[in-house]
């Protein structure tokens, strides 16, 4: 072992089996429900967001099956409105926004910083329970009659509908504060709990990405909070500011909503960028190309994302002058995003690429995100968007980003840190097959939607003219394939917990601090507080012995 490596020589100092880790150091319901340990909270988040994802996926399948026939195969039109609203609301608020920061971020961020925990562990547990209460409120809203406004809750319809909008609105308020507190915690942790020697430019890029995400969570989410409260007030005592009958302006609602929800797109996607940045480096065993560029582009995206929200409102009745400005500013987002995409590809170039399942998911991300990102540039153009607004082109675009990019990056991260979290390996063969099925299923679902959207198929309609039937058929078949792929993934991941092979201490040969602690990590993460003397992603210090030593 070289002197450069942080002094956590796990495989020498301790017997490798039977030592206590965060999973088995205590047991019983309260040792989990009342835990302050970031790793256990991360795992609880993982269970929660996975359930939300499977629910949201089920709703998506119902939507796709309904659209098999032009007159709608399964539901009455009003019920269809509820199903796609549930799909959107569950996926956005309960899964995509909290998924990566809540589960993988919580698990990995303190490890990567060499800290014992996040800076504010009680607040961390509180944000998990806020997430839970948000989920309860969402479920309660379904019981109380559902909601049919779409996940965007546009006024004035959200004021007039007789569905349970107040309940889901309060749910989103709680989920918003859950997200805020996670972001707040991460910012403080990054500022105050870095190990000695871990300077800003030695931090892994996943940490940088989470840091940029946290800024957005803290600064944008409160506006969503007040917006849903104001909608609730509209319904409770007709405050009137979003209600045109009372002199209010529904466009103001859209301003408020997108002031949050556009940055929220980056709350969702920046952590995914972070995971991809980590994984392309580790699985190519090569330092990242353009480390500082990627780090600063995360911050640049965070800032620019506050200036472009009006591009969601090109057909809202917003002033033409505002639309010019918003459309113009939108193109600037493409610059830091493209910097990232090129840097990742340049990192892989001539690397020692290992096509492990996490890397396969990452490569799938790179392809899908290129399509998702570039179609976003098309939609940012004012005149083109007037035509494409509220068509399936938009649906396909944001699914290429949210499902194809963010969910796939989440899967990639999950496969990457799975051996770290549990000390076991899933079936790699099945994982590679599942990745292929998911990639094929995803593209079969959403590529046809670009075409039918550009030909005028509006989103959110329960029925359609028969000319669109072939595209809808292809899309529905793709959705079923995608569902099967995800079911296979869930199967082998869960099975690995019961019958998986022992993972290695350092399964993939990573050199960031998260791989310099025993696997699975002990309660306070490090046996000895680490200090850092080497640059980040310096694979010359990798101790290959750790990649051959079984996890404890």
Is there binding between residue 259 and another protein (CB under 8 A)? yes
Q: Which is nearer to another protein, 231 or 401 (CB)?
A: 231
Nearest-approach distance from CB 457 to another protein, in angstroms: 27
Nearest-approach distance from CB 224 to another protein, in angstroms: 9
Q: Which stretch binds another protein (CB under 8 A): 131-139, 285-293, 336-344, 517-525?
A: 517-525
Q: Which of residues 301-340 bind another protein (CB under 8 A)?
A: 306-307, 309-310, 317-322, 325-326
Nearest-approach distance from CB 230 to another protein, in angstroms: 7
Sign, CA dihedral 121-127-133-138, equals: negative
Q: Are 321 and 306 in contact (CB under 8 A)?
A: no
Alpha carbons 169 and 138: distance in angstroms, whole number: 9
Q: Which is nearer to another protein, 258 or 492 (CB)?
A: 258
Q: Which stretch binds another protein (CB under 8 A): 71-79, 163-171, 410-418, 524-532?
A: 524-532
Q: Which stretch binds another protein (CB under 8 A): 347-355, 408-416, 418-426, 526-534?
A: 526-534
Nearest-approach distance from CB 42 to another protein, in angstroms: 15
Phi then psi for 458, rounded to 5 degrees?
-75, 150
Is there binding between residue 382 and another protein (CB under 8 A)? no
Residue 419 half-sphere exposure toward CB, CA atoms < 13 A: 25
Collapsed DSSP state (helix, strand, coil) of residue 276: helix
Q: Which is nearer to another protein, 441 or 521 (CB)?
A: 521
Q: For residue 268, what are its two tokens?
A: 């969702």
Applying CB under 8 A, the site for another protein has a residue count of 72
Nearest-approach distance from CB 385 to another protein, in angstroms: 17
Number of continuous H segments (helices) and E segments (strands) in the chain: 19, 2
**Among 251, 293, 384, 480, which residue interacts with another protein (rule: CB under 8 A)?**
251
Q: Which of residues 435-464 bind another protein (CB under 8 A)?
A: none
Q: Which is nearer to another protein, 40 or 286 (CB)?
A: 40
Element containing residue 36 per DSSP (H, E): none
Sign, CA dihedral 122-24-517-505, equals: negative
Q: Which is nearer to another protein, 529 or 549 (CB)?
A: 529
Q: Which is nearer to another protein, 226 or 490 (CB)?
A: 226
Q: Which stretch binds another protein (CB under 8 A): 400-408, 454-462, 488-496, 520-528?
A: 520-528
Q: Which of residues 529-548 bind another protein (CB under 8 A)?
A: 529, 531
Alpha carbons 22 and 35: distance in angstroms, whole number: 11
Long-range contacts of 75-84 (CB under 8 A, 24+ apart): 75/462, 77/462, 77/463, 78/148, 80/462, 81/148, 81/460, 81/462, 82/146, 82/147, 82/148, 82/163, 83/59, 84/59, 84/150, 84/460
Nearest-approach distance from CB 194 to another protein, in angstroms: 6
Q: Site mask, another protein, residues 132-171, x = CB under 8 A?
A: ----------------------------------------
Nearest-approach distance from CB 254 to another protein, in angstroms: 10
Q: Which is nearer to another protein, 256 or 393 (CB)?
A: 256
Nearest-approach distance from CB 23 to another protein, in angstroms: 17
Nearest-approach distance from CB 214 to another protein, in angstroms: 9
Nearest-approach distance from CB 188 to another protein, in angstroms: 5
Alpha carbons 299 and 333: distance in angstroms, whole number: 11
Sign, CA dihedral 335-338-342-343, equals: positive
Q: Which stretch binds another protein (CB under 8 A): 40-48, 178-186, 351-359, 410-418?
A: 178-186
Nearest-approach distance from CB 66 to another protein, in angstroms: 33
387: Cβ contacts below 8 Å, ≥ 6 apart: none
Q: Which is nearer to another protein, 7 or 61 (CB)?
A: 7
207: Cβ contacts below 8 Å, ≥ 6 apart: 109, 112, 113, 190, 274
Q: Site mask, another protein, residues 82-121, x = CB under 8 A?
A: --------------------------------xxxx-xxx
Q: Which of residues 181-240 bind another protein (CB under 8 A)?
A: 184-185, 187-189, 191-200, 218-223, 225-227, 230, 233, 236-240
> Burial code of 24-40, b = ≥16 C-beta within 10 A, e = fewer?
eeeeeeeeeeebebbbb
Q: For residue 5, what are its two tokens?
A: 């490596």
Q: How far is CA 48 from the centre of its chain?
A: 14
Is there binding between residue 34 and another protein (CB under 8 A)? no
CA dist 505 → 214, 224, 550 (Å)? 30, 43, 6
Q: Which is nearer to another protein, 25 or 480 (CB)?
A: 25
Q: Helix 250-284 to helix 408-422 angle, to the nearest 10 degrees?
A: 50
Q: Which is nearer to another protein, 260 or 411 (CB)?
A: 260
Q: Are 106 and 39 in contact (CB under 8 A)?
A: yes
Torsion angle of the four alpha carbons 90, 94, 99, 105, in this order, in degrees rounded to the nearest 10:
170
Q: Site mask, another protein, residues 465-504, x = CB under 8 A?
A: ----------------------------------------
Nearest-approach distance from CB 530 to another protein, in angstroms: 9
Q: Which is nearer to another protein, 306 or 491 (CB)?
A: 306
Alpha carbons 450 and 441: distance in angstroms, whole number: 15
Is there binding between residue 12 and another protein (CB under 8 A)? no
Q: Which is nearer to another protein, 324 or 342 (CB)?
A: 324
Q: Widest CA span of the chain, in angstroms?
A: 74
Beta pairing partners, 424 = 502
């Amino acid at each position: 072992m070289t002197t450069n490596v942080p002094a956590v020589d796990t495989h020498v100092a301790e017997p490798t089996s039977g030592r206590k880790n965060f999973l088995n150091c205590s047991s019983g319901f309260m040792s989990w429900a009342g835990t302050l340990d970031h790793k256990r909270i991360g795992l609880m988040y993982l269970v929660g967001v996975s359930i939300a994802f499977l629910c949201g996926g089920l709703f998506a399948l119902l939507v796709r099956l309904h659209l098999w026939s032009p007159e709608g195969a399964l539901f009455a039109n009003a019920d269809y409105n509820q199903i796609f609203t549930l799909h959107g609301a569950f996926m956005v608020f309960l899964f995509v926004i909290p998924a990566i920061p809540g589960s993988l971020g919580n698990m990995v961020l303190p490890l990567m910083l060499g800290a014992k925990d996040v800076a504010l562990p009680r607040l961390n547990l509180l944000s998990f329970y806020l997430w839970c209460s948000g989920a309860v409120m969402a479920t309660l809203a379904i019981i109380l009659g559902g909601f049919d406004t779409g996940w965007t809750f546009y006024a004035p319809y959200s004021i007039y509908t007789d569905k349970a909008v107040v309940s889901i609105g309060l749910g989103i308020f709680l989920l918003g504060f859950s997200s805020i507190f996670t972001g707040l915690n991460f910012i403080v942790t990054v500022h105050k709990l870095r190990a000695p020697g871990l300077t800003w430019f030695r931090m892994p890029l996943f940490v940088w990405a989470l840091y940029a995400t946290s800024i957005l969570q803290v600064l944008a989410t409160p506006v969503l909070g007040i917006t849903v409260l104001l909608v609730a007030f509209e319904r409770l005592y007709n405050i009137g500011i979003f209600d045109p009958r009372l002199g209010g302006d529904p466009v103001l609602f859209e301003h408020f909503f997108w002031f949050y929800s556009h940055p929220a797109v980056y709350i969702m996607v920046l952590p995914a960028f972070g995971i991809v940045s980590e994984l392309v480096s580790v699985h190519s065993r090569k330092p990242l190309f353009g480390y500082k560029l990627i780090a600063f582009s995360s911050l640049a995206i965070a800032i620019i994302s506050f200036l472009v929200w009006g591009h969601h409102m090109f057909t809202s009745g917003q002033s033409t002058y505002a639309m010019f400005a918003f459309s113009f500013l939108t193109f600037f987002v493409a610059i830091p995003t493209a910097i990232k995409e090129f840097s990742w590809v340049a990192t892989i170039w001539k690397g020692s690429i290992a096509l492990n399942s996490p890397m396969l998911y990452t490569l799938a991300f790179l392809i899908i995100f290129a399509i998702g990102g570039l179609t976003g540039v098309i939609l940012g153009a004012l005149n083109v968007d007037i035509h494409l607004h509220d068509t399936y082109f938009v649906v396909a675009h944001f699914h290429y980003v949210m499902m194809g990019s963010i969910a796939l990056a989440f899967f990639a991260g999950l496969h990457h840190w799975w051996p770290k979290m549990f000390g076991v390996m899933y079936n790699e063969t099945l994982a590679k097959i599942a990745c292929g099925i998911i990639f094929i299923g995803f593209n079969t679902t959403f590529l046809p939607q670009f075409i039918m959207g550009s030909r005028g198929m509006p989103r959110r309609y329960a029925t359609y003219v028969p000319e669109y039937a072939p595209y809808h058929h292809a899309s529905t078949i793709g959705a079923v394939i995608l569902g099967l792929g995800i079911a296979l993934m869930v199967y082998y991941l869960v099975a690995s917990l019961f019958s998986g092979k022992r993972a290695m201490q350092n399964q993939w040969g990573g050199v960031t601090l998260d791989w310099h602690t025993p696997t699975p990590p002990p309660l306070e993460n490090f046996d000895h507080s680490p200090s850092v003397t080497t640059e980040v992603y310096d694979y010359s210090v990798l101790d290959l012995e750790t990649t051959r030593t079984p996890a404890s």
